[in-house]
Structure 1
Amino acid sequence: MAVTSAQLYFNRYVIHNEQVELQLDQSSLVEGDNALFLAEQLHQSFVKKGQKQYCAFAQDSAIVEQIQQEVEPETLANNIGTRILSELDLETIPAESILVIAFYHYLATDYMLAAMLGVKESVQLSEAINPQRSQYLDIANIQLALQADLSELQINPDSNKALAYIKGRVGRKVGDFMAEAFQIEEKFDSKQATQKLVETVETFIEQAGSDPEKTKAVRDISVDVMKSASQSGEFIQVKDLSEEIEDKTGLTGFYDLAAQDEEFNEECPVYLSASKSLQKFFGQGGGMSLSFNRDLLGDKIKFDPVSETLTFHKIPPNLLDALKKAMKNDS
């Protein structure tokens, strides 16, 4: 287990007398092996979320001031819960109402993670194999969460990557209530940064020539690096990506091309869904939605730029079956 120490504080937001309240006056503390296990699960679930944004605390943030003053974890957890409560009302309270504030040491780094978790019901078996109704925290589907790299903040209080949050569902970032409670400011638009890196990859391929094997290799290398960075929660080092492309394809100049951008950064956050154009062609409109792997073009799928048509020489079995059934029903 990579988490070597952990303290977790739990509370719940409830609706009482048409007001949102905290269920407990003081958060409930979990320590020991259970805390280590839960912190590991929370960390891994957070890191694996591909849609994250990076930000920094505003200068007048009460939370960062308390972190810098090394306020006791219990006091900080209770303060965070109260600050989030001040931003909640009957209209904004999410379905995820269990608040967990985790302080833990993962590998060589100290973290704080604040998350709103949902509760799901299930059935478990006792030792006598009697089914019993049970509830569990829906950690795998973590949606509203913010993580602070406390070690990075100690070294560089103005860091642009010490604070990350899950962008969440359509039309919803970390939740306005959490953004206001923590008093955060966006620093890195990871989606935009990833899109710009993808554009650099495509420009590099275009300038490098038309060798299909090397073109595919550059795209595959870029995708692998992005996936690896996303899964580990790290930023891509552009120089490292450039060196890997050169080592595996012999093509040089990627770093120099990327550095020509006026807003160039040596490292790039990853918004994984923004990289899918390296692997797939996709588009929608007029009642259609199409998506297919790039390597199918010219093989199983032909494109005629004059007539602007696609010809599919093989289609997925389930789609084929649905089409046959539709033709049979219409005849």
Structure 2
Amino acid sequence: MPIINSIVHRIDKSSSDQPATLAAADEALSASPALDEMLASLKDSYHAKTKAWGYFADAATAHTLGAALARHLEGDTADEQTFVAFTRQAAESLKTLVDDHLPVGGHLLFAHTRQGDAEHLTLALLHHREGYAIDASLGVVPVRQLNLGQLTLAARVDLTQMQAGTSRQYVSYNKDRGGKKLAEGFRDWLGCEEGVDASSETRTLLKAFSDYVESEDLPEAQSREKTDALIDYANGQARSGEPITLDQLSELVDEQQPKAFYDYIRNQDYGLSPEIPPDKRTLQQFRRFTGRASGVSISFDSHLLGDSIEYDAQQDRLIIKKVPGQLRDQIKQRRE
């Protein structure tokens, strides 16, 4: 992940009743293995968080990050002094959000990186935690280190997609810490509009997949194999911060008919976008319930519980509202 430019500014806030102040850096960070490793760890931590996805609104005010970034991209983005000036302006405007919603400040990191053919801008307000280390004399000493697991404010912009103008989900930002008001304030500071609900889109995709498997009347082993392929691919995309691409997923689900699942989704009109940001929490909840006893074998996707399948706890029984076609035909034949 080559680093084009990176910098750290400091937003100081000693207490809730003291206004935040900015200690801005005058130059970008020098390249080093430590910087590379820190950014790689930050990337992993960020992609593990719950995020919203969207795009910069055309009507965003001049003080938003989106507007400032658009102006920055009109010039030489690789120029160090241009990058320093852009990030300093952004850090200055973020002080108000810190004042309104956070008890303390932190170190504000900006990193412009390249990964393959795509360029990204990552920003994060970093905090420290107290820890311990062993010194050269084998003694225990206190140390302060960056707490990359605590990302109060963090965002990532796909600069390549932003400039192409063909996507409504090139901005992602974390929203699982600090409450609703902080998340909304951060979104407004970014100048971002939510383009797609990752949780809802992921749930719809999983529902479409279950419907597809059911329509194909697949054997249990083959159904489980396809489910594993979907979950492995989706989790891999989530770890790398990349969207689920429907045509690529369709190829993985059925190598013999690589367009079958894609065509099924389009023909059934689920309203899914060609690219879906994966929601890790939703994916973690998608699994199969399986049980066998007294000659009865039952297996179904967990999200069907409470929908087409109900569990009566008092009677200890399952109620199947929609019987699979293959099973229904076998029962009818037996009764004739």
TM over 0.5: yes
Of 58, 71, 74, which residue of structure 2 is paired with 1:69? 74
Match of 1:104 in 2: 113
Report which stretch shifted further, 162-171 or 52-61. 162-171
User: Given residue 112 of structure 2, which amino acid in structure 1 is its aligned partner?
Assistant: F
Match of 1:146 in 2: 155
Judged with a 3 Å threshold, the aligned counterparts in structure 2 of structure 1 residues 67 and 251 are, in CA distance, closer, same or farther, namely closer
Cα distance per residue 1:88-130 (max 9 Å; x no partner): 335x115673322222333443221111222111111222223
Match of 2:146 in 1: 137
Equivalent position SS for 2:160: helix
Shift of 1:133: 0.9
User: Given residue 58 of structure 1, which amino acid in structure 2 is its aligned partner?
Assistant: A
Identity score, percent = 17
User: Given residue 265 of structure 2, which amino acid in structure 1 is its aligned partner?
Assistant: A
CA–CA separation in structure 1 for the residues paired with 2:16 and 2:229: 57
On the 8 A contact 2:68/2:90 being kept in 1, the answer is yes
Match of 1:201 in 2: 209
Equivalent position SS for 1:12: strand
Structure 2 residue 274 is the aligned partner of structure 1 residue 298: no
Judged with a 3 Å threshold, the aligned counterparts in structure 2 of structure 1 residues 174 and 191 are, in CA distance, closer, same or farther, namely farther
On the 8 A contact 1:87/1:180 being kept in 2, the answer is no
Match of 1:286 in 2: none
On the 8 A contact 2:16/2:104 being kept in 1, the answer is no
Judged with a 3 Å threshold, the aligned counterparts in structure 2 of structure 1 residues 16 and 216 are, in CA distance, closer, same or farther, namely closer
User: Given residue 187 of structure 1, which amino acid in structure 2 is its aligned partner?
Assistant: G
Equivalent position SS for 2:20: strand
Judged with a 3 Å threshold, the aligned counterparts in structure 2 of structure 1 residues 96 and 23 are, in CA distance, closer, same or farther, namely closer
Judged with a 3 Å threshold, the aligned counterparts in structure 2 of structure 1 residues 4 and 251 are, in CA distance, closer, same or farther, namely closer
Of 256, 259, 262, which residue of structure 2 is paired with 1:255? 262
Match of 1:325 in 2: none
Shift of 1:29: 4.3
Please give the TM-score of this superposition, normalised by the length of structure 1.
0.76
User: Given residue 254 of structure 1, which amino acid in structure 2 is its aligned partner?
Assistant: F
Q: How many residues align?
A: 292
Shift of 1:158: 5.3
Judged with a 3 Å threshold, the aligned counterparts in structure 2 of structure 1 residues 175 and 239 are, in CA distance, closer, same or farther, namely same
Match of 2:196 in 1: 188
User: Given residue 124 of structure 2, which amino acid in structure 1 is its aligned partner?
Assistant: A
Unaligned runs of 5+ in 1: 281-293, 312-331
Judged with a 3 Å threshold, the aligned counterparts in structure 2 of structure 1 residues 139 and 305 are, in CA distance, closer, same or farther, namely closer
Shift of 1:238: 1.2
Equivalent position SS for 1:110: strand
On the 8 A contact 1:302/1:310 being kept in 2, the answer is no
Which aligned runs of 4 or more in structure 1 are off by greater than 4 angstroms? 25-29, 299-308
Match of 1:44 in 2: 44
Aligned-residue CA RMSD (Å) = 3.1
Equivalent position SS for 1:88: helix
Judged with a 3 Å threshold, the aligned counterparts in structure 2 of structure 1 residues 131 and 106 are, in CA distance, closer, same or farther, namely farther
